[in-house]
Amino acid sequence: KNLFTYDPGFVSTAACESKITFIDGAKGILLHRGYPIDQLAEKSDYLETCFLLLHGELPTAEEKEVFVNTIKNHTMVHEQLNHFFNGFRRDAHPMAIMCGVVGALSAFYHDSMDISNPEHRIISAHRLIAKIPTLAAMVYKYSMGQPFMYPRNDLNYSENFLHMMFNTPCEEKAISPVLSKAMDRIFLLHADHEQNASTSTVRLAGSTGANPFACIASGIAALWGPAHGGANEAVLNMLEEIGDVSNIDTFVAKAKDKEDPFRLMGFGHRVYKNFDPRAKVMKQTCDEVLAELGMENDPLLKIALKLEKIATEDEYFIKRGLYPNVDFYSGIILKAIGIPSEMFTVIFATGRTPGWIAHWNEMISNDYRIGRPRQLYTGSPKRDYPSK
Ligand code: CMC
């Protein structure tokens, strides 16, 4: 007789206690340390939210200044790390390279092996929040065959990211405040989402006592799939494939057909069955960015708006609680900024880093046991090896 519960997909199993993020999926509520996501998106910024996730409280003005400067202090990566990139094909998927180079950070910071030391854990958190955007931009530059751009500490976090992505040694353009604000919001809206697949992966890897950089690399791998962080790239590919509003009905019918594996990407969520509060802010940011760039008539936006309307009025989607999620509009914003779709999940990973590391740190700071799910064995009963 099995003494444990069978819960495929962990639909009803709480694997830990956490004080970081609260979600009420039925009501569309998302709180970080008690603060609603829409208020954080409006009044806070990404680095302040990182501090909040890590330390539990909003920083004072002085604490914020120290935190921002500390992150700036860690933005460069070891020169030796540049050589890793040469081992990858130029057309490698950016997430494949991210899994490798983020994991490789563990080889550079041996002090991070002492995970019992709270100071070391926080230094690892600072290094990750600071270096992942640098690595993300390097991945992009590598794919373009352009030189890596060093971080600039006179810029804020998102401006610096856009600088490392789009500037070259020949030309350094000023970064538009509207675009850097949009980038900051995208990072902030992805900063944490409690025990999703990638965060649970980071916790599971961390529960063995593994190095934090290796744990975050495992989270990046889990994020890659189209059911999770890969959805933003899949949404854009889908909108391009739909191509014209006149084709939407065909794609909606495909999504409803149980014989067809196609799903409307950017729709549905394991926890939100009413609306995704992040999607609302993302849509507003999308409008701001397209207005700034004079792209209000963007054909992909037109398809997205019509698709949202048709799908959310359809009985199939209503009955199953399927609404646009955070990734439905993020791809349109990123594309408008000039970021190619293969990079979208890397942007998600960059934004999610503080959530992953805050959960890892919370787990290591408290009593924890190695994660070890059980199974229901459905294979052959014991049998004897055939005699020859
Ligand atoms: N299009 C069409 N039907 C869908 C969709 C969709 N996007 N999502 C779920 N369904 C149907 C599904 O076929 C099932 O129908 P039925 O009850 O008749 O069998 C029902 O809705 C429940 O779906 P499920 O697969 O049991 O739900 P889940 O909680 O296991 O999966 C999900 C959640 C997000 C993986 C899924 O909704 C999905 O694949 N969505 C598209 C991918 C996507 O946008 N992912 C990003 C999630 S938000 C960002 C993040 O947190 O990573």
Q: Ligand 1 centroid to 270 CA: how many Å? A: 7
Tell whether ligand 1 has an atom less than 6 A from the beta carbon of residue 151: no
Do residues 180 and 45 share a domain?
Answer: yes
* Number of domains comprising the chain: 2
Tell me the pLDDT tens digit for each residue of 191-230: 999 999 999 999 999 999 999 999 999 999 999 999 999 9
Q: Which of 23, 265, 322, 323 to mutate to test the pocket of ligand 1 (most atoms within 8 A of CB)?
A: 322
Query: Is 327 a catalytic site residue?
Result: yes
The mean pLDDT value for 164-172 works out to 96
Residue 257: phi and psi, rounded to 5, are -75, 115
Do residues 154 and 235 share a domain?
Answer: no
Do residues 215 and 242 share a domain?
Answer: no
Do residues 47 and 64 share a domain?
Answer: yes
Q: Ligand 1 centroid to 193 CA: how many Å? A: 17
Residue 2 pLDDT exceeds 90 = no
Contacts of 239 (CB under 8 A, 6+ apart): 300, 303, 304, 307, 331, 332
Distances (CA, A) of 175 to 79, 158, 166, 359, 364: 26, 9, 9, 33, 39
* pLDDT band (50, 70, 90) for residue 56: very high
* pLDDT band (50, 70, 90) for residue 1: low
- What atom in ligand 1 is closest to the CA of residue 198? 52
Greater pLDDT, 1 or 92: 92
Q: What is the pLDDT of residue 245?
A: 94
Nearest to 19, CA basis, from 32, 30, 29, 28: 32
Do residues 59 and 177 share a domain?
Answer: yes
Query: Is 120 a catalytic site residue?
Result: no
* pLDDT band (50, 70, 90) for residue 358: very high
In a domain? residue 11: no
- Cα 148–chain centre separation: 23
List the single range of 81-90, 200-209, 260-269, 294-303 with lowest mean pLDDT.
294-303
% pLDDT > 90, the chain: 90
Residue 113 pLDDT exceeds 90 = no
Expressed as residue numbers, the domain containing 122 is: 16-226+341-365
List the single range of 108-112, 124-128, 242-246, 362-366 with lowest mean pLDDT.
108-112
In a domain? residue 333: yes
* pLDDT band (50, 70, 90) for residue 242: very high
Q: What is the pLDDT of residue 4?
A: 83
Asked if 176 contacts 163 with a C-beta cutoff of 8 angstroms, the reply is no
| CATH assignment at residue 243 | 1.10.230.10
Q: What is the pLDDT of residue 110?
A: 80
Tell whether ligand 1 has an atom less than 6 A from the beta carbon of residue 343: no
Do residues 216 and 82 share a domain?
Answer: yes
Exactly one of 163, 190, 193, 269 is catalytic; which is it? 269
* pLDDT band (50, 70, 90) for residue 297: confident
Q: What's the whole-number average pLDDT of the chain? A: 95
Do residues 185 and 312 share a domain?
Answer: no
Identify the residue whose C-alpha is closest to ligand 1 atom 21.
320
In a domain? residue 278: yes
Identify the residue whose C-alpha is closest to ligand 1 atom 29.
270
